[in-house]
Amino acid sequence: MDSILDGDVQTVFENKDLVDSSTIVDQDRIYGRDEQLAAEARAFRDTLDGERPPDLLLYGPSGTGKTLTVKAVANKVKERALESGIEFDFVAVNFKTMESHTLDRAVWKLGHQTARKAGVVWDVPRSGVSTDMKYTRLYEIVDDHFDSLVFILDEIDALTGSTGADEPAYSRLLYSLSRVMSEQHVDTQLSTVVVTNYPKFRENLDSRTDSSYNPNGIHFSDYDANELIEILERRRDAFKDDALEDGVIEIVAAYGAQNEGDARRAIDLLRDAGEIANRAGDPVVTQGHVRSANDSVVKNRVLEIVGGMSVQKKLSLYAAALVAKDNEGVAPSPVVYDIYKILCEGSDMEIYTQETVNSHINKAGTYGVLESERVSGGFKSGVHLVFKFTEPVGAVLDTLSEDDRLQEIPATELGEVVKRRLRD
């Protein structure tokens, strides 16, 4: 233990921060996003002229460089603004990581992060104080400490608010932030950058929000395997010379391409492979280390998602995964419900309605396990939901099977039932 604490340990890393996906990197390490970087730079350029930058909407799949590029540009603008005597900064909040997705908690989090950037104490408690008072303190800090400020609102679609609300919490937040200058709450040039995987989130905006919130949209497409190779090559110096076996970057990129071109996951996977090599005392990261890291990442990610689910939600998801396993990752809801009922009967569990089962499965969609869409199956089938898994179906089944209550499920026999139902 002493040798570990003293740092006398062999490592494959030279600068591990470069394979931390949260690290803000220089623009020369960003590949394949020249058009988006240029659009963001043009928008932020207004700050240096003493004008308010336009609101931006960055949309596209996960891990395609949305947050990475805008932070890199904002960081560069911050350096230029400092040279010109302009107090500019940016405050980034990822709403998906918040323990509560209400408007009140979102405003508190914005205030906390803004106070940190301003170098002052955020003296507002989480509870016991109204949302309006949190807004008031936030605006005081903004007005006192910044000439220009950008709020980067990451994964804003997670900010759903309380069940049954007339509009999602993110709609009310965007309305308030889009009106803050016109209502003379601050003299600071304040603008927002919304980052989302779902560009259609605007369809749920309240009409007054949609009227006052008019961002410039910037689209980010998936990376392909070749682009991921270029991205990872720009992080190679995270490792010591000759610490990466030939083919390691290519296999990491291939796994990343399977995950819908997610560069963030690819970078994290490369780091995890290095950590596995370190734990084994190996001086070189091999393709075997990458495969081990990928297996572990997939299992841990799925376990984190499904681990806390109720047994009914697990049964619903298990039924969908069984169907998808024999149907190229796709599960039509009518077939899923048939299998779910068989699972409940075999487990002596109460059978819920198809609407409830669909809702349970869609809940898994909010965590990135699957996606759903409504399709028409023609006159006989009508309109129904189809679930498409974005995580490996085998990993989902294996993880769910670790629950004692699901271990007795005859998956092989049910597989034959699934095939018959799909044919019918």
The reply to whether 367 sits in an annotated binding site is no
The reply to whether 66 sits in an annotated binding site is yes
The reply to whether 131 sits in an annotated binding site is no
The reply to whether 68 sits in an annotated binding site is yes
The reply to whether 85 sits in an annotated binding site is no
Give the integer Cα–Cα distance in Å for 218 and 203. 17
Label the pairing between strands 330-332 and 383-389: antiparallel
Q: CA-CA distances (angstroms) from residue 246 to 132, 243, 251? A: 57, 10, 10
The reply to whether 235 sits in an annotated binding site is yes
The reply to whether 223 sits in an annotated binding site is yes
Q: Residues annotated as binding site for ATP? A: 64-68, 223, 235
Q: Residues annotated as binding site? A: 64-68, 223, 235
